[in-house]
Amino acid sequence: MLIKVSKSGLNKWFIWVTYILALFPILTFGLRSVALAIWSLLGLLNFIINNTAKSQAKKNLRYLVIGIAPFVFLVFSLFYSDNYDWGVRRLIQMLPLLIFPIIFYLNRDVIDKAFKDKILWCFSISVMILVFYQMGYTVYNLDFFLGDLTETEIIRNRLSSQDVLNQDVVSGIKTRRYRSALLDITDTHFTYQGLWVIFCVFFMINKAFRFIKRKNIKGYLLLVVSMLLIAWLFMISSRMPILAMFVATFYVLFVIRKIKMKHRIALFGACTSFLVLAYFVFTPLRVRVNEIINTKFDFPSETKTEYNYDSINVRHGIYACAAHILKENPWFGVGVGDSQDVLNACYNDKIGAKIYTWMDYNTHNQYLFFAVASGMFSLLFYLLFLYLQHKEALKYKNVLYLYFIIVVALISLTENILSRSDGVMFFTFFSSLFLFNNRDIKLHDNY
């Protein structure tokens, strides 16, 4: 009897710590590490004592091997890396890429649809807390964010006088002021906030329509909250998540749902009108979009009187250097330990802009990261892993899973999402949750 209680208790503890891990958007990096370590231990014990892995063993094992293969290639690349210490630190940051797939694979019979639903709610609630906290902070400090440029800002941007500045320049500096303040209080880059928000919104809108169908007022409340989250997405002007949200939504609707052509055209027109309106309503978004429109395909530079750099031309330099490195080291890359050092050397030798000395700029592309760090085989396995998950989502018509994998694939084009805790936690947690727990999904279910 005591053994049975112990087994049941172990399983419950594993489930509860999973809920805690799902709150990672509002957990500090230290708490995430502690929770992940405890969760991993509980998962291993749960597997050993309760024998929690019985279903679809061969299929799931194949997916597990493919999923962890890119990480294994990175580990192998340490053997030809000179900067061994930096490589080890990078691999430690990316450990969830190994841990989540293994533990979810071993406990694949523990998680049912109700459990998965609660996990998604935990994540969504944590995202709402993070966003509403920043909204409150914005309102409280509105005078500062809208105030005139300070003397420090004028000097830092090499501007002679506030009197000669046009409104676009002022708006650009105020946008950077606003984003920097929010980054200080959250320590979370806006791309990852945007990534979390668009996933949370898609989940809640699906829920909202279900509630509305049952004439439950909760549905309308969820729609209001979702609209607030979308408004926040435009306020922080997270460009790639905004684009990924619309592209992934259209893709899911057109692939899974049977929508008539006239409805597709109407939906496209409505979304386009909304984006145009958002451009004029949200100043931070307008500034960031204008940055793309006005930037030429050149590298960042500087003169005695001004800096010529922004997020666009800095990326031009990054991608040019990554392509150069990949051309010279296509099969095995330069090693995970040396990838950043080699990039920095290229920035210095081929571009020479001072901005690249202010911080380490990674490849800003997850595909390029794998190729540069550990070669084409690592990249191919990452692409194969994304493809297999796309295939699984289509097979079970799991719209949330399909939306998730399309969003990740798109944002991988502009960010090393697996090189930061915020990104690697999000991707590995949910991809493993979905991939090894599709057995309970019915063909008519939304997620």
Tally of domains within the chain: 1
CA 274 vs CA 195, 206, 312: distances in Å: 20, 20, 24
Residue 354 lies inside a defined structural domain of this protein: no
pTM: 0.90
Residue 320 lies in a domain: no
* DSSP sequence for 34-58: HHHHHHHHHHHHHHHHH----TTHH
- In terms of residue numbers, what domain contains 100? 2-295+369-435
Question: How far apart, in whole angstroms, are the C-alpha atoms of residue 418 and residue 92?
Answer: 11
Six-digit token string for 393: 């989502």
364 lies in some domain: no
Is 321 part of any domain? no
Amino acid identity for residue 302 in this structure: E
Helices (H), 310-364: 311-328, 339-346
Length of the chain: 447
Q: What are phi and psi of 219, to 5 degrees?
A: -60, -45
Could you identify the residue written with the tokens 């760090």? 373
In a domain, 345, yes or no: no
424 domain residue, yes or no: yes
And the tokens for 431? 């991809």
Q: Report the 10 Å Cβ neighbour count for 133.
A: 14
Q: Which two tokens stand for residue 96?
A: 């969830």
Q: pLDDT (tens digit, 0 to 9) for every residue of the chain, 447 residues total? A: 334 446 778 889 999 999 999 999 999 999 999 999 999 999 999 988 887 666 666 678 899 999 999 999 999 999 999 999 999 999 999 999 999 999 999 998 888 888 999 999 999 999 999 999 999 999 998 887 777 776 666 656 666 554 455 666 677 777 778 888 888 899 888 899 999 999 999 999 999 999 998 989 999 999 999 999 999 998 888 889 999 999 999 899 888 766 777 777 887 787 788 788 887 877 777 777 777 777 666 777 766 555 667 777 888 889 999 999 999 998 999 999 999 999 999 988 888 888 888 888 899 999 999 999 999 999 999 999 999 999 999 988 899 999 999 999 999 999 999 989 999 999 999 999 999 875 544 433 454
Residue 337 falls inside a structural domain? no
Whether 360 is covered by a domain: the verdict is no
Reduced DSSP (H G I as helix, E B as strand, rest coil) percent helix, strand, coil of the chain, to 5? 75, 0, 25
